[in-house]
Structure 1
Amino acid sequence: MAVIQATDSDFEQVLKDNDKVIVKFFAGWCGSCRLFAPKFKRLSNDDKYEGVSFIDINAEQNPESRKSAGVNNLPYFAIYKNGELIEGISSSKEDSVVELIEKLNS
């Protein structure tokens, strides 16, 4: 599945439309964010995570979404189930992000 680009204007709707969501908050100047982008895309195409929607949000341009997830560092990953924030982490380690995604499937 492709990574969905979201903004403050459609973030709530994206959460309503998808049961299981992982959001990557990034910034254009963030080197770790850029390095993680291909990994996030690869994970989104993994059959293991078929029911999970992968969302990208530019944290600088979308302050409402950033605040609602409690973003404190970048890249930041947050998981949502049925529109509710479950957990968020700031990490550039793929293993940590995979652990977070696994929580959606448990």
Structure 2
Amino acid sequence: MVWRERKLVDGSETGTLSRQRAVGAPLKSDGGFPVSVNAIKSKQDFASVIDCGKPILIEFWAPWCGPSRTISPIFEKHASDPKNVGIEFYRVDIDEQEQIAQEVGIRGMPVFMLFKDGDKKAEVIGADPGKLEALVIRARPLR
């Protein structure tokens, strides 16, 4: 955390705490666990990831989508939660990976999908933290 001070129009000062990280540095959750949300960069990567035998949670998002940007930190927090060890977290930028988005039938954003052994087990459409948490909890017994 970095403390930043700024002067207001009336000359008084105020300070705010902000998170800063170097580009490429791993994000950290509040608990200090590294966030491990990996980007899927190709259709081949997608096929091998969902068929790896572990429970896989994938966030389908786009950088221009406000709801995607809003819920992404919550997805990252779940990824770094020790209760979720054994679940792998990934994200797919649908603008960069249109073929994957078409294959899985993305109809809105953000979309969160749970896969196990190549099969889609569940899906959540929209930036609903409660539904996302329920999806993560559903993935735990699949480990």
Per the normalisation by structure 1, the TM-score is 0.90
Paired AA for residue 59 in structure 1: I
Residue of structure 2 in register with 1:22 after alignment = 57
Residue of structure 2 in register with 1:54 after alignment = 89
Alpha-carbon distance, 1:16 to partner: 2.4
List per-residue Cα deviations over 1:19-66 (Å, max 9, x = no partner): 100100001110111111211111100011111111010012212221
Within 1, Cα distance between the matches of 2:72 and 2:139?
Answer: 20
Q: Residues 20-99 of structure 1: matches in 2 within 5 Å?
A: 20-99=55-134
- Give the SS at the match of 2:95: coil
Please say which structure displays the higher CA radius of gyration: 2
The alignment covers a number of residue pairs equal to 106
Q: Percent identity?
A: 21
Within 1, Cα distance between the matches of 2:105 and 2:137?
Answer: 21
- Give the SS at the match of 1:88: strand
CA RMSD, 1 decimal: 1.5
Greater relative contact order (Cα < 8 A, sep 6+): 1
Alpha-carbon distance, 1:18 to partner: 5.0
Structure 2 stretches lacking a partner, 5+ long: 1-34
